[in-house]
Structure 1
Amino acid sequence: MTIPGPVRRFLKWAGIALAVLLALCLAAVGALRLQFAGTPAAWAKSTGHDALWMGHAWVDGRKTAADVDRLAARIRQSGISDVYVHSGPFGADGTLPPDKYPNARNFLKWWQEKLPGVRVSAWLGQVVDEDVDGHVDLADPATRARIVAGAKALTDLGFDGVHYDFEPVPDGDPAFLSVLKETRRAVGGKLLSVATQQIEPLPGLRFPLRLVIGHEKYWTTGYFAQVAALTDQVAVMTYDSWTPLPSLYGGHVVRQAELAMDAAPPGTAVLIGAPAYHDHIVGLSDHAESVATAADGARLALTEHGPRAQFGMALYVDFAATEEDWKEYQTAWVRPGLPPAAGFPG
């Protein structure tokens, strides 16, 4: 059977594209494995600039003052200086009605009494589920105005800052930069923080992956630098890396941390998101990703880079974190190689 010319040409170019993609993947695997090698310096550990993502139950009435007491006992033995409390999501038109966070005032009062030195930011974003009408058009000025108004209402209520988490944001998207600029003007000196997408680990990986999954997974270092320059703090979501082995995930964290520290201005805090949850999108990631491996990768990156005034880890997320996750955070990052601090809940 003779294959028509157009089909032969298509198969030829498809084969070339697959070969290029395979070569890129193999190069990435080799590079990540090499990154996760060496011994971190003793000084490369938490300096008290860590963070914790916290669920919606804290502001909708399900959590009480007693719950704050229990979490406070754990946080006092940690390096956590910031928490991001889920207070949204925004509606599709950018609105954020107060009935999304009816217990926020009580929560902030309880928190201030128990942990006055730990900042509380309102974690705000959109509905990620594509089957739910939650997409927010950041390019629409009226939508952005409502987003900023919702964020300012929360800082006026008593939150120390705003932590944005819009997913996915295309690389180079000017609308997201506009959100950050407009929010800065509205909230003034309040903390402006962003959960960022991962940074393209090797040139050329972003485009083929976008074709496969249908949206941006990576930002270029240039766009990451633009976002970091407009904020006080960036938390790189290194989890859901799709790496099947701990050594590859560790290398992925090293690479992400190095790229982030090189791209972010010295005055912007860089946090490395650590997976304190166990329902990854890709099954093998449950085996590959852990708080301990993320901590090891962060320490190796910091050792290579040299001391950075504001660098830490951010644990995702409080309601899914197990005792093992908290123990790994203590023994791999807060007190590397030592038992958890005396009195640490466990």
Structure 2
Amino acid sequence: MKWVWRILAFGTGLILLFGVQTWVWWQGDPEAGGTETNALWARHQWVGEAHTEAEYAGFVRLLRQNKITDVYFHAGPFEPDGTIPPGKYAHARELTAAMRRLAPDVRIQAYLGQIRVVEGHGVLDLDDPANRRRMVASAQIMIGLGFDGIHYDLEPIYPGDTAFLGLLDATRKIAPLLSVALEQQTLVDAAQPVLDALLPRSGRFKYPARPTDGYLREVARRVDQVAIMAYDTEMPTESLVGRHFAWHTEHTLRVIGDRVTVFIGVPTYPALFDWSETLPVAVRGVRKGLDALGRAPAKPFGLGVYADWTTSEADWADYRRVWPPHAR
């Protein structure tokens, strides 16, 4: 029992030391500024409902004011067979025409997603080649409606998922612009085989789908943009949340920042610990991650704001304040 207590005391000491070190690290102001290449996930109503010219113009003003260059308009989700009922995107052509008139330089992408079947749980079986063919056909319809590209958000995607890579290869042939949303990376790549052996991929105690560096590079080879869903940290202090965003920013850009445009997803919705995981904290963490990187990535980089349906005017004001180019 003495050894048990010693191990527990040692572990507790390490946790406290890490917490103190993180708090001290968090006190310094970041030097890195913001960028003028940023993305926004947008609500389904833009393609599913009719809008007036004034509403389109107001949305474009918001994009201009906040330096949003890429918009992912939700146009799905996929049905279990990979199709999308036309009624779900009845006003997509009106949207794309309005964006062409009012903001021709903004890249507009059809945001298509679904929960994939893993170990018998989920909606869409991505491993079925027929489903993937219908998904690509659905994506081609979106391109025909005037979207610049396709944005996939299929969850979960585990390292080594060749079906997902095959979908990207097939979509690349028909989409001028292709992007994906991925979960934040694994902290230790070597732990993935251990987790795979010990924990299930579905159910209450499943282990999360975290891309390894190698898998992230495989995805980046096939797309133009990668958006990392770094939110939902479930961390109780600002310094821990900030360190989370800093690490994922620095690490992602070191791995693929010279290959592909990267957006780090930041939240504007109430998180589990809504006093610590806020938009200003997340953005400050991103900027500290850029400081640690020490140089600008070769490809464009920015924030991905999740999402337009949860972002208030106050949130946008915070965004412009903490992502410096917008505050000048």
TM-score category, normalised to shorter length: 0.7 to 0.9
Contact 1:85 1:121 in 2 (8 A): yes
Matches within 5 A, 1:218-237: 218-237=210-229
Give the secondary-structure state (helix, strand or coil) at the position aligned to 2:262. strand
Q: Number of residue pairs matched?
A: 315
CA-to-aligned-CA distance 1:67-104 (integer Å, 9 cap, x gap): 22212122112221000000000011111232220000
Deviates most, 47-56 or 167-176: 167-176
Q: 1:50 aligns with which of 38, 42, 47?
A: 38
1:217 and 1:319 mapped to 2: Cα distance?
26
* Pair 322,118 (structure 1): closer, same or farther in 2 beyond 3 Å: same
Give percent identity, aligned residues only: 37
Aligned: 1:276 with 2:268: yes
* Pair 295,144 (structure 1): closer, same or farther in 2 beyond 3 Å: same
1:82 and 1:96 mapped to 2: Cα distance?
23
Deviation at 1:268, TM superposition (A): 0.2
Contact 1:197 1:219 in 2 (8 A): yes
Matches within 5 A, 1:244-323: 244-264=236-256, 266-278=258-270, 280=271, 283-284=272-273, 286-305=274-293, 306-308=295-297, 309-323=299-313
Contact 2:189 2:213 in 1 (8 A): no
Contact 1:162 1:193 in 2 (8 A): yes
Contact 1:79 1:334 in 2 (8 A): no
Aligned: 1:240 with 2:232: yes
Contact 1:35 1:255 in 2 (8 A): no
Cα RMSD, aligned residues only: 3.2
Aligned: 1:94 with 2:82: yes
Deviation at 1:296, TM superposition (A): 0.9
One-letter amino acid matched to 1:192: L
One-letter amino acid matched to 2:178: L
One-letter amino acid matched to 1:322: S
Aligned: 1:197 with 2:183: yes
Contact 2:77 2:114 in 1 (8 A): yes
CA-to-aligned-CA distance 1:39-58 (integer Å, 9 cap, x gap): 322xx333311000001000
Deviation at 1:310, TM superposition (A): 0.6
> What stretches of structure 1 move > 6 A for 4+ residues in a row?
18-28
Deviation at 1:141, TM superposition (A): 0.7
Deviation at 1:163, TM superposition (A): 0.5
* Pair 54,31 (structure 1): closer, same or farther in 2 beyond 3 Å: farther
Aligned: 1:78 with 2:66: yes
2:161 corresponds to: 173
* Pair 20,192 (structure 1): closer, same or farther in 2 beyond 3 Å: farther
2:9 and 2:318 mapped to 1: Cα distance?
39
1:136 corresponds to: 124
CA-to-aligned-CA distance 1:117-170 (integer Å, 9 cap, x gap): 11100000015899xx96111111111000111011101211011010011112
1:122 and 1:108 mapped to 2: Cα distance?
10
Deviates most, 211-220 or 259-268: 211-220
Structure 2: 5+ residue stretches without partners: none
Give the secondary-structure state (helix, strand or coil) at the position aligned to 2:104. coil
TM-score using structure 2 length: 0.85
2:25 and 2:84 mapped to 1: Cα distance?
42
Deviation at 1:23, TM superposition (A): 9.6
Structure 1: 5+ residue stretches without partners: 1-14, 342-346
TM-score using structure 1 length: 0.81
Deviation at 1:299, TM superposition (A): 1.2
Give the secondary-structure state (helix, strand or coil) at the position aligned to 1:234. strand
CA-to-aligned-CA distance 1:17-48 (integer Å, 9 cap, x gap): x999989977986786576454322xx33331
* Pair 22,196 (structure 1): closer, same or farther in 2 beyond 3 Å: farther
